[in-house]
Structure 1
Amino acid sequence: MNFRSRERRSRPIAIEGVFRKSASRLDRRLGTWMAAITGIALAVMIAGMFLFYSLVEYIDPMFWWKDWNSYWPQPIECMAFVTLWILGIGGAIAAAAYFARRIIRPLESVGSAAQRIARGDLSARATPQEAMFDETRRLVDNFNAMASHLNRAETAMGDWNLAIAHELRAPLTILRGRLQGIVDGVFATETISFRGLVAQVDTLNRIVEDLNVFTLARRGRLELRLETIDLADEIATVISVVAPELKKAGIDVLFDLGCSVQVLADSARIRQAILAILENARKYAAPGLLRIETFAMHEKGMLRFCDDGPGLPPGSEHLVFEPFWRADGRRLHPNGGSGLGLAVVQAIAHAHGGTAHARAGEPRGAIFEICLPCAEANSV
C-alpha cells in the first residue's frame, strides 16, 4: 500500500524529469542537425566545385599544357573553403542555439507547467522568456490565461461547495434535531410542530430548485414555455400570495403599473423571478415602501422594484447577482434565503434574452430591474 502510494507520488516527478531531459536532448539534436545539414551543404558545394574543374579540364584540353593549375583551386583558395566550411557549421550551431532559446525553452516551460497542472497544482504558470517569437509568446500567454481560468473555476467550485453545505446545514440540523427528539421521546407527536418541519423541507426544496434553475440557465438548457403575458397580471398573481408576509415585515407595496406591458416569456419563470425579488425585499429591506413599476422602453418590457432597504455598497451592482453573495453582512438577515434568489433572477432574465440590473437608490434603498423583450418586437 505504501509502496504504491510512493510510486504514484514519484511518477509525476519522474515524468517531469523525463520531459526536461527530452527538451535538453531536443536542444542538442537541433544543434547537431543544423550543423550536419550546413556541413553537408558546404561539402556538396566544394565537391561540386571540384567536379566543375574536372569537367572544364576534360572539355577544354587545349589549355591543359598551357596552365594546368589555373583550373584547380590554389592552396589559399582551399584554405578559404575550409574556413568557410567551419564558419558555416559554427553559424549553424549559433542559429540552433538562437532558435532553441526562442522556441524550445518556452515550450519546455509550457510543458513543465502542464505537468504540474496535471498533478493538481493549478497555480503553475509558464515562465515567459526574455527573447521569444510573437507566436511563442502568444502560446505562453494563452496557456497562462487558460491556467488562470482553471484556477478560478476550481476556487469557485470550492466556494460553491462550502456555500451550499452552509445553506443546507441549518434546515437539515433542525429537521434531524426535531425528528431525533420524536424518536427519543423528548417531543410528543401531538405537540411537535409539524408545520415548522414542513417549512424546513420547503427551504430545502427551494434551495434545490434554485440550484437546478441556475445551473440549467448557465448551460443554456433551461426549458421555457414562451407565450405573450402581461407583466401587471404576473405581479398581481405573486403579490396575492406574498402580501401577508410583506405586511408582517412592515412593507407597503405601491403600484405604478402604467399601461399594459406585454412580453414574450414563460409566465411560471417570470413569477419565480418576481417572487425572488419580493422575498429579497422582505428579508433585507427596512420597513417602509416598496414601489413596483412597469413600463416599455426601446421595445423592451421593464419591471422595476424600489425598496427602502440599506442600499447597495458602491461597486456591488454586479456582485448582488453572484450566488451566495453577501454585502459584508449589511443585507444579511437571520432568516436569510438560499443565497441564490437574485442569481436565479438574472439567470431567468438571460434565458429570455433579457437582462437584470441593480443599483443604489436615492437617497437610500436599492433598485432592481428586469428587462424582457416585448411581444410586439418579437412578432415583427
Structure 2
Amino acid sequence: MNSILYRIMGLMFLLIMGTVLLLTYLANEQMNFHFQQYLLAYHMNNGGRDVVVYITRDGQSVIIGRPEQDFLSSMHESLIGVGAFISLIGLLTSYALARSITVPLRKLSMATEEIKKGNFDQKVEVESRGEVGQLAQAFNRMSAALAENTRLRQRLLADIAHELKTPLAVIQGNLEGMLEGVVANDKEQLGSLYEETTHLNKLIHDLRDLSLAEAGQLQLDKEPVDISLIVTRALHMLEPLAEEKKIRLESRLAPVPPIFGDSRRINQVLYNLLANALRYTPENGLITVTVSPERRREQDWVMLAVADTGSGIAPADLPCIFNHFYRADTARDRKSGGTGIGLAIVKQLVGVHGGFVEVKSEVGSGSTFYVYLPVKET
C-alpha cells in the first residue's frame, strides 16, 4: 500500500471494524437478554433443578441451569478474546501504516534542515512509488538543482575574477611603470590603457545585463519593433569592419509583422551574434542574416538567423555554447575570443522577450544561430 489513499482507507477500515465489533457486542447483549427470557419461561412452565437465579435489568429473576450458564460463559470469554485480538491487530496495523508515512516525512524534514544550513548535496531514499515517494523524488531533484546552481555560481564568480584580473593587472602595471619612469608616458601607451579600460567597462556592463536578465529584473522599454530595419542598420554599421577582414555581409529579409519588444536589447542581440560571426569567419567568408516569419509550437514567430562560413562548432561544444565564459576554441584569449558571455547574454535577452535561441553547426562548414521572437506580446 504505497499510496496515502490506501493507507487512509486502511485506517478507515479499522474504524469500521471497531464499529462492527461494538455493534456485535450490543447484539450479543440483546441475544443474551432474550435467551434469559426464554429460560425464564421454560423453567416456569417445566420446573427444574440445579438452577441459578439471576436478576435481569428490568428487575425480574431468571432461572438458568448449569449447562446454559457454562454456554454463556464460554461465549462471553470467546467474544472478549476475539475482541482483544482484533484490537491488538488494529493497533499494530495502524502504527505500521502511520509509521510508513511519518518516517519518510521525518527524513525529508531532516534533509531540509541540512539544506537550510547550506549543505545542498542532500538525497533521501525513495522507498515507495506513492505520493510520499513522489515527494522524495521531487526533493532529490530540487536538491540536485540547488547543488548544481551553487557549483555554477562559484564557477561564475571564479571566472569573473579571472576576467577582471587581467585588464586590471595590465592597467596597474603600466601605471606603476609610468610613475617610476620605466614606461613612457606617451600617446601610444595611453591609448593602450584606454583600450584596456574600455574592455573592462564593456565586461562590467555585460555582466550587469546578464545578472539582471537571469534574475528577471532587466527593465525593458517595449514598443513595436521592425526587425528588418534593425538588421539593415546593424549591417550598415558593421560593413567597414567586415570589409577590413574581407568578409561579405548579406541579408535576406522577408516581410514580417512587427514584434513587441525593446529595440535596444534586440539590437544588442543582433550585434553580439554578428560580432561572434565576424570573429570566427575567415577572410573571403560570408555572413548571411535572414529574417522570416515562422510557425512553431502553435504560435507565430519572427525568425532571425545569423549564418557564417567559419570553422564551425564541435558537437561536444554545442550544449555549452550559451554558458558563461565558455569558448569552444580554448586557444583563443579574451581579446581574440571575446569575453565569453556574449552568447549567454543573447540567450537571456531573447528569453526575457518570451523567445528562444537555437544553434546548428557542422565542423568545417560554419554555424547558424536562430533567434525566435514572438509576434504577440508575452
* Aligned-residue offset at 1:368: 1.5
Partner in structure 2 of residue 180 of structure 1 = 176
The alignment status of 1:213 with 2:209, answered yes or no, reads: yes
Task: Write out per-residue CA displacement over residues 254-292 of structure 1, whole angstroms, 9 at most, x where no aligned residue.
Answer: 313345556334332222112211221233333332322
Q: Percent identity?
A: 24
Task: Write out per-residue CA displacement over residues 18-60 of structure 1, whole angstroms, 9 at most, x where no aligned residue.
Answer: xxxxxxxxxxxxxxxxxxx99x999988996897668972237
Q: 1:297 aligns with which of 293, 298, 306?
A: 293
Q: 2:123 aligns with which of 117, 122, 125?
A: 125
Counterpart amino acid of residue 256 in structure 1: S
Counterpart amino acid of residue 364 in structure 1: S
Residues 151 and 266 of structure 1, relative CA distance in 2, 3 Å threshold: same
Q: Which aligned pairs between 1:217-228 and structure 2 lie closer than 5 A?
A: 217-228=213-224
**Residues 92-101 or 341-350, more deviating:** 92-101
Task: Write out per-residue CA displacement over residues 208-256 of structure 1, whole angstroms, 9 at most, x where no aligned residue.
Answer: 22222223333333323334444344234334444444344x3412313
Partner in structure 1 of residue 325 of structure 2 = 324
Q: Secondary structure at the match of 1:303?
A: strand
Residues 42 and 266 of structure 1, relative CA distance in 2, 3 Å threshold: closer
Q: Which aligned pairs between 1:108-257 and structure 2 lie closer than 5 A?
A: 108-129=106-127, 132=128, 134-190=130-186, 193-248=189-244, 250-257=245-252
Task: Write out per-residue CA displacement over residues 90-135 of structure 1, whole angstroms, 9 at most, x where no aligned residue.
Answer: 3134214422442122123212322332333221211223xx4712
* Aligned-residue offset at 1:177: 1.2
Residues 184 and 54 of structure 1, relative CA distance in 2, 3 Å threshold: farther
Is the CA contact (8 Å cut-off) linking 1:206 and 1:338 kept in structure 2? no
**Residues 337-346 or 293-302, more deviating:** 293-302
**Residues 165-174 or 289-298, more deviating:** 289-298
Residues 194 and 237 of structure 1, relative CA distance in 2, 3 Å threshold: farther
Q: Secondary structure at the match of 2:184?
A: coil
Partner in structure 2 of residue 79 of structure 1 = 77
**Residues 300-309 or 141-150, more deviating:** 300-309
Higher percent of residues as helix: 1
Partner in structure 2 of residue 12 of structure 1 = none
Q: Which aligned pairs between 1:352-371 and structure 2 lie closer than 5 A?
A: 352-361=353-362, 364-371=365-372
Task: Write out per-residue CA displacement over residues 311-342 of structure 1, whole angstroms, 9 at most, x where no aligned residue.
Answer: 12226445322222232627766522221111
Counterpart amino acid of residue 372 in structure 2: C
- Structure 2: which 5+ runs fail to align? 1-14, 37-55, 295-299
Residues 302 and 361 of structure 1, relative CA distance in 2, 3 Å threshold: farther
Q: For the residues of structure 2 that align with 1:175 and 1:126, how far apart are their CA atoms?
A: 51
- Structure 1: which 5+ runs fail to align? 1-36
* Aligned-residue offset at 1:154: 0.9
Q: Give TM-score, length-normalised by structure 2.
A: 0.75
Is the CA contact (8 Å cut-off) linking 2:312 and 2:365 kept in structure 1? yes
Q: For the residues of structure 2 that align with 1:237 and 1:275, how far apart are their CA atoms?
A: 11
Q: For the residues of structure 1 that align with 2:33 and 2:66, how far apart are their CA atoms?
A: 11
Residues 43 and 259 of structure 1, relative CA distance in 2, 3 Å threshold: closer
Is the CA contact (8 Å cut-off) linking 1:217 and 1:347 kept in structure 2? yes
Partner in structure 2 of residue 61 of structure 1 = 60
Is the CA contact (8 Å cut-off) linking 2:327 and 2:337 kept in structure 1? no
Is the CA contact (8 Å cut-off) linking 2:249 and 2:288 kept in structure 1? yes
Counterpart amino acid of residue 164 in structure 2: L
Residues 119 and 269 of structure 1, relative CA distance in 2, 3 Å threshold: closer
Is the CA contact (8 Å cut-off) linking 2:256 and 2:293 kept in structure 1? no
Residues 267 and 360 of structure 1, relative CA distance in 2, 3 Å threshold: same
Is the CA contact (8 Å cut-off) linking 1:232 and 1:257 kept in structure 2? no
Aligned length: 338
Is the CA contact (8 Å cut-off) linking 1:214 and 1:343 kept in structure 2? yes
Counterpart amino acid of residue 58 in structure 1: R
Q: Secondary structure at the match of 2:268?
A: helix
Partner in structure 2 of residue 266 of structure 1 = 262
Q: Secondary structure at the match of 1:321?
A: coil
Residues 338 and 73 of structure 1, relative CA distance in 2, 3 Å threshold: farther
